[in-house]
Structure 1
Amino acid sequence: MKYPTAVSEHCFEEKRSRFITELLPANSEADIKNRISQLKTQHPKASHVCSAFRLNINDQVQEGFSDDGEPSGTAGMPMLKVIRHHQLINCAVLVTRYFGGIKLGMGGLQRAYGQACSNAIMEAQHQLNELKKTRYLTLSADFHQENSVRHLASQFNNSTIQIDYHARGLDIVISVEDDDYATIRERFIQQNFQLKSPD
């Protein structure tokens, strides 16, 4: 599987409707929803902002999609199928559509959204990296250390973080690429974090 390392954008027209496609890295549904809200603000006259995503959460693939008002099954699912076909993970594809006055029909919509997604992925081939094996680092921290943990984790490619809050502080699980595991583990030890899953 591969994942995008940067945001890329592609635009094409089908019977006067304009489809602006954004392929972006994503580690959570919250990130995706936030970006969709931003696009709707940036494109107030757009008819729809449809989406599809695939995430790797704790070694489990999570998928989702939205037709955002298009007829059911004509936008999000065709986009998700394209993402699956290209074996992408930790990404979302968002398609902003400006209606051009000509109805495309169910089949036409499915083809247009699928093509929009495929075009964006093909154009972004140079920004796709292979997803490497991940390992998990679990540690405990005080509430005031949360920002330090997030900052350190953000310095490593494709790392994700899950935090559980409790009365005594934080339990934190960090998913990191296998190649980076020893380095990030050593950095947490140097900063006197209490590791709960030492080798």
Structure 2
Amino acid sequence: MEKDTYNTLAAPGEETLFKEKGSKFFGYAFPVADETEVKTLLADIKKQHPQARHWCYAFQLGTEPNIYYRANDDGEPSNTAGIPIYGQIQSLGVTNVLVVSVRYFGGVKLGVGGLISAYRLSAQLALEASEIIEKTINVHYTLKFGYQDMNRVMRVIKEKNLEVVSQKMEMDCEIVVATRKKNAPAVLEAFESLYTISVK
């Protein structure tokens, strides 16, 4: 059966600090909904750490089969920062998440292997400092109907325990409801049996 849940972060985690040969790695993990949020958070972190040398990160958005991710080494040798950070996101099986590791150079080069393990550890600490929660993958339906059907629609919403995402009451009514993926076919059927209602 197809999964209809995913794991993500309940809230931004606490700042973590990992030190290696004088270099400092500040780690952060955030729940994110889209790339705009990623950009805003990265800009905030750069303001918090204007003296840092590198702001490396990875993020993942979406659930199977529509996963989108990006990993950024921000000037570190190729694949020594972003990919190890992304590896930690994958190993914890979380999505809709951004992990950033901010490096202050301590004067000693860590080498490729040292960098990979430092960024991996920094990401791991950041994720471990965050609470991971399970969320359901929801399907949204837009219901359009006349006022005469209001009671019938509301009865289904109540019976099926649906979340009302938004509603517009003008000449006709429009309500957007959400249900977890595995319940979606039954919900669709319940509304479609009320033939005067359009469901999208």
TM-score (norm 2): 0.70
Task: Give 2:138's match in structure 1, choosing from 104, 109, 134.
Answer: 134
C-alpha separation in 1, matches of 2:80 and 2:37: 24
Aligned AA (1:198) = V
SS of the aligned residue for 1:39 comes to: helix
Q: In 1, distance between residues paired with 2:109 and 2:161?
A: 52
Residue pairs, 1:61-140, within 5 angstroms: 61-124=67-130, 127-138=131-142
Provide the C-alpha distance between the structure 1 equivalents of 2:111 and 2:57, rounded to a whole number of angstroms. 19
Could you say which residue in structure 2 is the equivalent of 1:188?
167
Displacement of 1:139 in angstroms is 7.8
Deviation at 1:2, TM superposition (A): 1.1
Q: Which runs of 5+ in 1 are unaligned?
A: 141-179
Q: Secondary structure at the match of 2:163?
A: helix
What is the distance in 2 between the residues matched to 1:184 and 1:52? Answer: 33
Q: CA deviation at 1:133?
A: 2.6
Q: State how many pairs are aligned.
A: 157
Q: Report the alpha carbon displacement of residue 98 of structure 1 after superposing the two structures with TM.
A: 0.5
Indicate if the aligned counterparts of 2:63 and 2:95 stay in contact, CA closer than 8 A: no
* TM-score (norm. length: structure 1): 0.70
Match in the other structure for 1:155: none
Q: Percent identity at matched positions?
A: 32
Tell me the alpha carbon deviations over residues 145-169 of structure 1, each in whole angstroms, 9 at most, x when there is no partner: xxxxxxxxxxxxxxxxxxxxxxxxx
Residue 53 of structure 2: aligned partner: 47
3-state DSSP of counterpart to 1:41: helix
Structural mapping, 1:9-28, within 5 Å: 9-28=15-34
Determine if the alignment matches structure 1 residue 60 to structure 2 residue 66: yes
Match of 1:160 in 2: none
Ranges in structure 2 where 5+ consecutive residues have no aligned partner: 1-5, 145-159, 177-197
- CA change 1:16–1:193 in 2 (3 A) is farther
CA contact (8 A) 1:12 1:18 kept: yes
